[in-house]
Chains A and B, each alone.
Chain A
Amino acid sequence: MTALPHTAVNPDQLLYPYWAEITQIKPETEGVGSIWLRFEDPAIRESYRFLPGQFNMLYLPGYGEAAISISSDPQDTKGMVGHTIRFVGNVTKAISRLKAGDVIGLRGPFGSAWPMDEIEGRDVVIASGGIGLAPLRPAIYHILHNRQKYGKVLLIYGARTPKDLLYPYEYEQWRAGGIDVQITVDRADETWDGQVGVVPMLFYRFRLDHQKSVVLTCGPEIMIRFVIYEGLARRIPAERIYVSLERNMKCGQGSCGHCQIGPYFICKDGPVFRFDALEKFFNVEEY
């Protein structure tokens, strides 16, 4: 069976999964966990590569597939791929009941990536909320590995409460690597001495050089919308704002039709879009 180089996608069989063993399940926050997968086929383990922002389709026989972003380091795979999953429904809840050693199907990687090369030399603002940090973490790792290629890097990350913050154990490392990590929560109790507010709000706490800045954003669509308003209000042009979107999807290959928005298939033309491509319909209700 022929696999395209670097991918676990079979061009001759529709939806054909490649088996991977769960090497580790790591609880992250309430209802969210990371799973690490290792392909059973050593050839794929060797050749599989992905770019920050891409996703896999994870398959559990009997339950179905779910699109899940890759949340691990693209450079340092050691034959393993990490995903951070919010256990919400049929497939994802079934995944939450698996344990290390269990096997799961995987197809991928699919979709467009964060424009890590094009944005070299720029100030980078990463604005994310909730589980939306997962698809941005590979971009963060990429920046840490290539820190000198970027200007100022500001990560604004928000979650509902302090308990819902993803990857808190890595923030210090990111800061040490030269990223200004700003954390905020929607609400807290009096033991929280961090920031309370929402992600878009943090935009006006920082002076952004609109000539130099790019924005990468992922999170609840409503948050993305407000981040875009704030970015545009700070005169960062739509061509320098990148968003990652989520829609129902079944194939990941621009065939099943589900994920369309205007002329785009989010699974192949996205999930990462330059905002000027979306501007025309992003605010059309229910489009």
Chain B
Amino acid sequence: MLNNPTINSTISLPKTEFDTLLAALRELGYQTIGPRVRDESIIYTHIEKLSDLPQGYTSKQGPATFRLVKSNHRRYFDVIPGAQSWKQFLFPPRTHLFTVEKVERWDIQPNAEKPPRYAFIGVRGCELAAIEIQDRAFLRADFHDPVYRARREGLFILAVNCLHPAGTCFCASMGTGPKVQGGYDLCLTELEDTFLIEIGSELGRDVISRCQYEPASGFLQSAAAKGLERAAGDMGRHLSLDDLPSLLTDNLELEHWDEVGKRCLSCANCTQVCPTCFCWDATDHTDLLAHSTRRERVWDSCFNPQYSYVFGGNTRPTIKSRYRQWLTHKLGAWKEQYDTFGCTGCGRCITWCPVGIDLTEEIAALRKEAQA
């Protein structure tokens, strides 16, 4: 055991010590959240100990396909996650904002609940990039979302390098993975018997110092590096960014938009699973006597017909126009708005689209038509 782990150094944490790490985080006041098997998929929820994690699983993913596979390996972080992302914790699907009571006049009570402090366990490169993309939307110089900010500021991130990408992954194309690009407190690479952990912050250093860790040998480090290199070549999909965003923003009237518009169901699955989609709506819930109104913020989607409704009609009445809005935003206008693409290459929208629409293929088809 070493005495003094330093920021940016790498240590080795025996798997048996992982529960100590989780306990240390809870001691510091964090709720520990991580992947768990439920209903033949992977969800993100509370975890207490290493054995809560999906040991021995991988996932088979393709357009409209997700299958959890139990194999004989003993690793915990090999399974590429399911539909859920960390978005649901920082930008909850439903948030109570305030309640208005009618006494004599309107009386308003902001939601006084203390924002939860989360420790995310197992954030992949694409997922961490997605959090940083949402930071740009919710934490701007001229506006910050108080709900998001409170959760984000209290966040602890234990990231994970991806060694076994799935069939719908293309983070290597987007430059967000498989190696985590920074922004974490701790970053883990899973080897057979141990976790290699890079320390990214003072907080991370503090947490590690509470565990029985070991030095990371050169052998272990080069094994991890090799694994990552292999993973980068193992991406199920590829997206060329050369002509983006202008390929989309300059070609709003290609025929292919009609074609994909015919396949898309406008079900909004893609926006719900996407870790960067940030659109929301506000709703009022009133008690029967209309004395008290609860105002909530809920997720919305550019695929919802109501989304672009204005008195007298809808600015995007067709499915084609909604799909076009979605894709030209993600890989087009987003770049101008936030100086980044709105896509990290996580592949969720491909896996969870009921009709298997694959944005990498749609982009390729649009490109072909635009170049014709």
Contact = CB atoms under 8 A, between A and B. Distances in A.
Partners in one complex: yes
Interface of A: 11-17, 19, 61-65, 86, 88-89, 103, 105, 246-248, 250-251, 253-258, 260, 262-263, 265, 268, 280-281, 284-287
B333 A263 contact: yes
A18 to B, nearest CB: 10
Q: Please list the 6 inter-chain residue pairs (A to B) with the smallest Cβ-Cβ separation, ordered nearest first.
A: A257-B279, A286-B321, A263-B336, A61-B293, A61-B100, A62-B286
A65 B278 CA distance: 20
Interface of B: 95, 97-98, 100, 102, 105-106, 108, 110, 137-138, 140, 142-147, 249, 252-253, 278-284, 286, 290, 293, 295, 297, 300, 302, 307-312, 315-318, 320-321, 324-325, 329, 333, 336-337
Contacts of B315: 247-248, 286
B137 A286 contact: no
Nearest to A284: B252
A287 B320 CA distance: 10
Contacts of B337: 263, 265
B311 A61 contact: no
Contacts of A19: 105-106, 108
B44 to A, nearest CB: 23
A253 B95 CA distance: 18
Residues of B contacting A: mostly: mixed
Nearest to A220: B312
B316 A286 contact: yes
Contact of B295 (A15, A246, A260): A15
Contact of A258 (B253, B279, B297, B336): B279
Contact of B252 (A13, A105, A281): A281
Contact of A13 (B98, B279, B329): B98
Contacts of B98: 13, 15-16
Most buried by A among B317, B324, B333: B333
Contacts of B252: 281, 284, 287
A15 B105 CA distance: 19
Given A61-B286, A62-B290, A281-B252, A256 B106 contact: no
B106 A260 contact: no
A105 B295 CA distance: 13
A287 B327 CA distance: 12
A65 B282 contact: yes
B253 A284 contact: yes
Given A248-B307, A248-B310, A256 B108 contact: no
B87 to A, nearest CB: 14
B324 A287 contact: yes
B103 to A, nearest CB: 12
A262 B249 contact: yes
A86 B310 CA distance: 13
Nearest to A92: B311
